[in-house]
Amino acid sequence: MNNTADAIIIGGGIHGASLAFHLGQRGLKALVLEKNVLCSGATGRSSGMVRMHYDLEPESRLAWESFQYFRNWEEMIGGDCGFTRTGFIQLVPKKDENAMRDNTTMHQKIGIPSLLITPDDVKRLAPFFQVDDFTVAAYEPESGYADPNAAATSFMDAAKRLGARLIQDCIVTGIQLASDKITGVSTTKGDFSAPIVINAAGAWAQEVAKMAGVSLPVSTWRHDVMYVRNPQEIPGNYPAVIDNIHSQYFRPETGGLTLVGLEDDNPIGESPESYTDRAQPGFVERAIDRICKRIPAMELGNLHSDNGGYDGISPDQRAILGQIGPEGFYAQCGFSGTGFKIAPAVGLCMAELIVEDEAKTVDITPFDPNRFARGELLKGENSYDDIWH
């Protein structure tokens, strides 16, 4: 086995795969080390929404750049990401509607196809939605959802064509340093040498950072979802929705299903090794109650399945991107449950930073890992409440 690489990426999710691909495009051969199998962490349990609505401009810019990949996947990456255009609707409590108006203006200045619509417009898009608790909504007609497993797999396949390698069932046990510079890693499958190591370990990112002598404030956030079989009254395709009024998000799923997740009562700080084959007790009952508030006809549906998952969450619920600690050590983590949709552009920008010392496609300096030590938490200019509460 070749035990040397230009860069070692710890974590085989969509972010590790995206970075491996973009480094390969710049001539660096990456080695991706995954403790289990590809997509076995947050990526494999992602809800897969593809939308650009954020209250922080750099996040919207990353999502917009990433959207170019999702809608041109075969040409840009090869393979398939399963992108399905449904449109996307953002709903917020009335107290946040002015902020949503301003955020939509910000999105439009970026070039994102986003507009404000009325409850009557929402009713035309989805006649079965209940619409009497808001006066305006944000709508992205080109957005939708994709298949996280397919996207990560095709990214990794493309990276391999550029010289990357993936080693699965490989647990990193230590990070090697010399004169405060990265020299490689120790693993359950031997030692590997590289002058660059990127921490893309998701819910395990804090543990990995400690191996490099770095204090990274990444906790874990549990995300449970359920899949409901739609009744005849609900068509197979309708807009994906983030419904902050009822602290939920939902979207159609192939096979006549609806995926539902909740934004509140998500445990923070649990072990990412905890049981995830089923959602936590009480989740399904709460989720059924919430979805029926927005789609009353869903009372005629029935439960298909449910599960859980873990992602890394930062103190400001924003990504952690950049160099921290010893020379050659980088963080690409802390995505706080919204990382899938920005993964293509994040991989590109991180590759630019690593190879060219600057991210040029989107300025990612606001996500500097050292911001927490400076007490500089990110907050949108027209902010909503924290996503997860």
Q: What is the C-alpha separation between 332 and 218, in angstroms, rounded?
A: 11
Q: What is the pLDDT of residue 385?
A: 76
Tokens of 6: 């230009």
Q: Extract the residue ranges of the chain whose pLDDT is less than 70.
A: 1, 386-389
Is 321:367 a contact under the CB 8 Å cutoff? Answer: yes
Residues 87-142+220-310: name the CATH superfamily: D-Amino Acid Oxidase, subunit A, domain 2 (3.30.9.10)
Angle at 67 between CA 66 and CA 72, to 5 degrees: 105
To which H or E segment does residue 156 belong? helix 148-161
Q: At what angle do helices 343-356 and 57-71 cross, to 10 degrees?
A: 110
Q: What is the pLDDT of residue 4?
A: 96
Encode pLDDT of 169-182 as tens digits.
999 999 999 999 99
Residues contacting residue 178 through CB under 8 Å, at least 6 positions apart:
none
**3-state DSSP percent of the chain in helix, strand and coil, to 5:** 30, 25, 45
Q: What is the C-alpha separation between 57 and 47, in angstroms, rounded?
A: 22
Q: What is the pLDDT of residue 389?
A: 53
- Closest by CA to 55, choosing from 88, 104, 18, is 104
Q: What is the pLDDT of residue 200?
A: 98
Extents of the domains making up the chain: 87-142+220-310
Tokens 């552009």 belong to residue: 345
Q: What is the pLDDT of residue 2?
A: 80
Encode pLDDT of 198-250 as tens digits.
999 999 999 999 999 999 999 999 999 999 999 999 988 999 999 999 999 99
Q: What is the pLDDT of residue 236?
A: 83
Q: What is the pLDDT of residue 388?
A: 63
Put simply, whether the predicted model's pTM sits higher than 0.85 gets the answer yes
- Closest by CA to 91, choosing from 64, 58, 119, is 119
